Amino acid sequence: MKSLLAFMKKEWMEQVRSGRLLILVIIFILLGIMNPAVAKLTPWLLEMMADSLEASGMTVTAVTVSALDSWVQFFKNAPMGLIAFILLESSIFTKEYQSGTLVLALTKGLDRHKVVISKAIILTLFWTVCYWFCFTITFGYNTYFWDNSIAQNLFFSVICWWLFGLLVVALTVLFSTLSNSNTGVLAGTGCTVLVSYLIGLIPKAKEYLPTLLMDGNSLIYGTVEARSYVTAIYITVLLSVVCLAISFPVFNKKYL
Amino acid sequence: MDMLAIANLQKRFGDKSVLKGLDLSVPEHSVFGFIGKNGAGKTTTMKTILGLLKADGGEILVSGEKVVYGQTATNRHIGYLPDVPEFYPFMTAPEYLSFCGEITGMSRIEIKSRSNELLKLVGLGNEKHRIKGFSRGMKQRLGIAQALLNRPKLLICDEPTSALDPVGRKEILDILMAVREQTTVLFSTHILSDVERICTDVAFLNDGVVNIQGKLSDIKSQYRTEEYVLETGNEEELKLLMNVFAGLKKSGMNTASFRENDHTLFDILRFVTDNRIRLLKIERVEPTLETLFMEVVEK
């Protein structure tokens, strides 16, 4: 336990001193502010462009925006946040492979599974904190400007998206134990998400896929019922656990 | 008891066989020199001992316990200094040592006192900067400090002196000498003068097997040749000697060497006295590790 905490402390120190944590926090604050800001600015933007739109045959009538528009922006920007997160953190294992810094820690008797556990915990923690930080900011502005109650299943939909992020974190951990390079981690994680997305184009398969959880808009507009997401949630959680479970034996046998 | 015992260790990389049945036993409280030329398999052997590489055959026992690849519990007995130690660059030296101490489960107070003691020992006591800015010699010294932190029974150093300047080398050798009381030291090297300076035991690794192994003094006496070198006052006198003793081999302007079984030392000395030849020097040649090494490698 003590060695696990020591390794996590080292991870924390690294994230803070390399400035990665700061960058992540800034990105997610910006995203959190952008969501309501874009919604708020939409009418004004359309008005500005009204003349040119009219020339092309479109008439702009008075546009009213609500909290829903801000939440649509939230779900539109969440992938950007997740991508930035993975880009910044994809080297969390591979950097140690390349520099050989793990060798000394492991030859000191640190159990290999503790390396995987502490990095997985740090990634999960950071994703959770950043994501909910972003959510809180958007939620706060939305309450101030409009009324959040018109968004249906709001908390359920954001929890779904958060779960999807957790799966991506688990995939990052898995591919980090499989691959020695940053590119391998990004390619592996990216391709898995892409495959899930492509299979999701088949309507019948959609409800079983983790990528369904990214579709928060249908939930807040109430076009689908929350119940229809349950299968996808189970599968996502199961897949995350499986990914992490595979990471341990793979890392145990890894040549460092 | 042997601190480390290796039996019939084999390792191949692809179709290249690096270790071909290596046997090694390192007695407790020895400073063991593991000698071999570059690429002989020294690092491979050490990494296998540490469970960082999987052996293709054979067995390794550290303090009587079998080494297992992957989850290597025997590492708690071992302090390891790699040839190029890599640390977390964002930490300072004391921070790194306390990280290592926490991993091995030392108490906070012990970490503090041991770190201070070791940092002083390796000359990094006043270093406040992050490891990012450390020179190679400083990293090597920090490497020794981290390896000794939890008072390991076996200290393994992979070519600790190869990359250092003479001052740095002397410092590292002095430290290794100093810790001999507390631990067993196994270090690989191809710098033979280092071995002669501090080792009690040696093993020569060549072509994947250990050719010679044992106490340094035993090996030296075992391989002692009955060879002498003599130096005369001038060339004429040497010629005079060489005319009588055909077995003398000229090795310089006024110097020649001979073997005891060609001519006895007393015959030559009698002739020297009878003819009043001025002798500047006569000495028995001690076998150097270098000649031994060359012999092993060329065999």
The whole-model pTM stands at 0.82
Q: Do B50 and A7 touch (CB under 8 A)?
A: no
Interval A217-240 mean pLDDT: 90
Range of the domain at A113: 2-35+66-252
Q: Decide if A17 is inside a domain.
A: yes
Res B299: pLDDT: 59
Res B220: pLDDT: 79
For residue B95, give the chain A residue with the closest CA: A10
Provide, as residue numbers in chain A, all residues whose Cβ is less than 8 Å from the Cβ of B53. 255
Please tell me if residue A1 touches chain B, with a CB cutoff of 8 Å: no
Provide, as residue numbers in chain B, all residues whose Cβ is less than 8 Å from the Cβ of A21. none
Provide, as residue numbers in chain A, all residues whose Cβ is less than 8 Å from the Cβ of B97. none
Res A126: pLDDT: 96
Using CA atoms, how far apart are residues B34 and A201, in angstroms rounded to an integer?
63
Find the CB nearest A3 among B82, B85, B105. B105
User: Min CA distance, A175 vs chain B (Å)?
Assistant: 19
Using CA atoms, how far apart are residues A238 and A232, in angstroms rounded to an integer?
10
Taking a C-beta distance cutoff of 8 angstroms, is the pair B141, B122 a contact? yes
Token pair 């007393």: residue: B266
Provide, as residue numbers in chain B, all residues whose Cβ is less than 8 Å from the Cβ of A253. 70
Q: Do B99 and A10 touch (CB under 8 A)?
A: yes
Q: Do A106 and B72 touch (CB under 8 A)?
A: yes
- Substitution target in A16, A17, A91, A108 with the highest count of B β-carbons within 10 Å is A108
Provide, as residue numbers in chain B, all residues whose Cβ is less than 8 Å from the Cβ of A99. 86
Residue A122: which of A89, A96, A97, A95 has the closest Cα? A89
Average pLDDT, rounded, for chain A: 91
Helix (H, G, I), strand (E, B) or coil at B176: helix
Write the DSSP symbol of residue B8.
Answer: E
For residue A8, give the chain B residue with the closest CA: B99
Find the CB nearest B86 among A2, A5, A99. A99
Matching fold, domains B2-214 and B227-298: no
Residue A171: which of A241, A73, A252, A98 has the closest Cα? A241
Res A207: pLDDT: 85
Q: Cα–chain-centroid distance for residue A137?
A: 16
E strand segments, chain B: 2-13, 16-27, 31-35, 57-62, 65-66, 78-81, 154-158, 184-189, 201-206, 209-215, 227-232, 249-250, 255-259, 279-284
Q: Is the pLDDT of residue A130 over 90?
A: yes
* Adjacency order of strands within the sheet including B57-62: B16-27, B2-13, B57-62, B65-66
Q: Is the pLDDT of residue A22 over 90?
A: yes
Number of domains in chain A: 1
Q: Decide if A201 is inside a domain.
A: yes
Provide, as residue numbers in chain A, all residues whose Cβ is less than 8 Å from the Cβ of B82. 100, 103-104
For residue A104, give the chain B residue with the closest CA: B80
Provide, as residue numbers in chain B, all residues whose Cβ is less than 8 Å from the Cβ of A105. 99-100, 103
Which residues in B have their CB inside 8 Å of a CB on A?
50, 52-54, 70-73, 75-76, 78, 80, 82, 84-88, 90-91, 95, 99-100, 102-105, 146, 150
Provide, as residue numbers in chain B, all residues whose Cβ is less than 8 Å from the Cβ of A6. 99, 102-103
User: Min CA distance, A16 vs chain B (Å)?
Assistant: 10
Contacts of B201 (CB under 8 A, 6+ apart): B26, B27, B30, B31, B32, B33, B213, B214, B215, B216
The ipTM (two decimal places) reads 0.85
Q: Give the pair of three-digit tokens for residue B37.
A: 């030329």
Taking 50 as the pLDDT cut, the residues of chain B under it are none
Token pair 């939409």: residue: A42
Res A162: pLDDT: 96
Using CA atoms, how far apart are residues A176 and B207, in angstroms rounded to an integer?
36
Q: Do B99 and A6 touch (CB under 8 A)?
A: yes
Provide, as residue numbers in chain B, all residues whose Cβ is less than 8 Å from the Cβ of A18. 90
State pLDDT tens for residues A82-125. 999 999 999 999 999 999 899 888 888 888 899 999 999 999 99
- Give the number of A-B residue pairs with CB atoms closer than 8 Å: 75
For residue A112, give the chain B residue with the closest CA: B71
Q: Which CATH number fits domain B2-214: 3.40.50.10860, 3.40.50.300, 3.40.50.2300, 1.10.3720.10?
A: 3.40.50.300
CA A4-B119-B52 angle, 5° bins: 45
| 3-class DSSP string for chain A | CHHHHHHHHHHHHHHHHCCHHHHHHHHHHHHHHHHHHHHHHHHHHHHHCHHHHHHCCCCCCCCCCCHHHHHHHHHHHHHHHHHHHHHHHCHHHHHHHHHCHHHHHHHCCCCHHHHHHHHHHHHHHHHHHHHHHHHHHHHHHHHHHCCHHHCCCHHHHHHHHHHHHHHHHHHHHHHHHHCCCHHHHHHHHHHHHHHHHHHCCCHHHHCCCHHHHHCHHHHHCCCCCHHHHHHHHHHHHHHHHHHHHHHHHHHHCCCC
Q: Do A107 and B52 touch (CB under 8 A)?
A: yes
Q: Cα–chain-centroid distance for residue B255?
A: 32
Contacts of A203 (CB under 8 A, 6+ apart): none
B227-298 CATH fold: Alpha-Beta Plaits (3.30.70)
Chain B neighbours among A 74-113 (CB < 8 Å)? 99-101, 103-112
User: Min CA distance, B125 vs chain A (Å)?
Assistant: 21
Q: Domain-by-domain residue ranges, chain B?
A: 2-214, 227-298
User: Min CA distance, B75 vs chain A (Å)?
Assistant: 5
Please tell me if residue A14 touches chain B, with a CB cutoff of 8 Å: yes
Residue A215: which of A137, A139, A163 has the closest Cα? A163
Please tell me if residue A6 touches chain B, with a CB cutoff of 8 Å: yes
Q: Decide if A106 is inside a domain.
A: yes
Please tell me if residue A22 touches chain B, with a CB cutoff of 8 Å: no
Helix (H, G, I), strand (E, B) or coil at B1: coil
Q: Do A105 and B104 touch (CB under 8 A)?
A: no
For residue A10, give the chain B residue with the closest CA: B99
Q: Give the pair of three-digit tokens for residue A40.
A: 């708020």
Chain B neighbours among A 109-168 (CB < 8 Å)? 109-112
